Amino acid sequence: MHLINKPQHMSKFGELIDVNIPVLFDFYSELDEKTSEMHLALRDVAAALGDKAKVIKIEVEKNRELTEALRVKTLPTLIIYKNGEMKWRQSGEQDAATLITIVQEYL
């Protein structure tokens, strides 16, 4: 299971997205009430997909440069990258089943 929750710097972000498996990013804020609900959904996604994909949480207050570079304005914002390319992006909450289905499209 890959559920990573730590600050990401721009230089490391390139390494994270340049892989041949889907990487689902959740841009969130600790100040947002919905964070805990999304965290549970993301844990389910990570558990269901195992090593086939990665799920990475990005806390916007600690990663302002990255957040601004990707023009994240609404929380949560969910983005899928694969092989260095953005494949999917959506703002707003999603349930685990929906996210699993979307990520599986990029396996």
Q: With a threshold of 0.85, does the pTM exceed it?
A: yes
CA-based torsion, 38, 41, 46, 52: positive or negative: negative
Q: What is the pLDDT of residue 52?
A: 96
For 63-105, how does the pLDDT look when each residue is reduced to its tens digit (9 = 90+)? 999 999 999 999 999 999 999 999 999 999 999 999 999 999 9
Alpha-carbon distance 98 to 107, whole Å?
15
Average pLDDT over residues 23-44: 89
What DSSP string runs through 60-82? GGG-HHHHHHTT--SSSEEEEEE
Alpha-carbon distance 47 to 26, whole Å?
16
Task: For the chain, give percent helix, strand, coil, nearest 5.
Answer: 40, 25, 35
Which residues have a Cβ under 8 Å from the Cβ of 98 and sit 6 or more positions away?
A: none
Q: What is the pLDDT of residue 68?
A: 94
